[in-house]
Amino acid sequence: MNNENSIVECFGKSMFCPELADVCADIAEEGLDSILTVPALQGIPIIKSINAVVKTAISVKEKYELKKQLVFLQSVSSGVANPEEIEKRKRAYGTGEKWFYREVENTIVYLSRHARIEKVKIQAILYLDYINGEISEEKYNECLDVLDMLIVGDIPLLMEIYEAQSNIIDLDTELQEKLKDVKTRFEHTKCGRLNAAGLVCPVSMGLSFGTFIDNNFVITDLGRYFCNVVKRLPNKN
């Protein structure tokens, strides 16, 4: 598993495995050692590869990387994907097409950057939207960069802004007047981080030096899309 080509090979071959979708347990909630003993998973290439590796000592970090890959694969396999796009990728794997290997490499690189399983599940939904044609390749890559920047602890605030401003669609028409009816107060520091990620944008509502400022940020179209992705997460409290 230390060989990058081997990682991409096993991961690509394991994409869309029905066995992963059929596993009742949520892989995210299980330890890697427990996952590797599930009988239904023993035929999946990436499981075979991991089982070969764990016979030797590997670090906690390496185990977590492997777990993230399995969570992503289970999430994708459990989701609704365009059958034609699935077959297209299976053929691409079989014929060794470079575009598919680049897609798999890109997926693994971003997965490796996530410290939280929540981000792994969000990335899986983004990937499904991409292969289903819901978003373009350009927007998909933009969303991966935004996800990389996003702090998981800021997501509840983003959802709060989304719900509070759900009736505001046109950001260019009398925005300040519309926001006067929205009573929610937002934490400035967290909004600043969401703004840096492009999920909200600042609105001039007058000077304030408080930690909380009334409605001085408004959710963007990209922010709305991310909120819709978060709402589709499984087992979301």
Residue 142: CB atoms within 10 Å: 14
List, for residues 198-213, the tens digit of each pLDDT value.
Answer: 999 877 554 444 444 4
Say which residue, 59 or 130, is predicted with more confidence. Answer: 130
Q: What mean pLDDT do residues 108-121 have? A: 95
- Residue 21's pLDDT is 67
Query: Residue 148 burial by CB count (10 A; 0-12/13-18/19+): exposed, middle or buried?
Result: middle
Residue found under tokens 């299976």: 90
3-state secondary structure of 145: helix
CB 35 within 8 Å of CB 41:
yes
> Mind listing the pLDDT tens digit for each residue in 168-180?
655 555 555 555 5
Mean pLDDT for the stretch of residues 85-114: 91
Residue 187: its H or E element:
strand 185-187
> What are residue 214's phi and psi, to 5 degrees?
-70, 115
* Radius of gyration over every alpha carbon of the chain, rounded to an integer in angstroms: 20
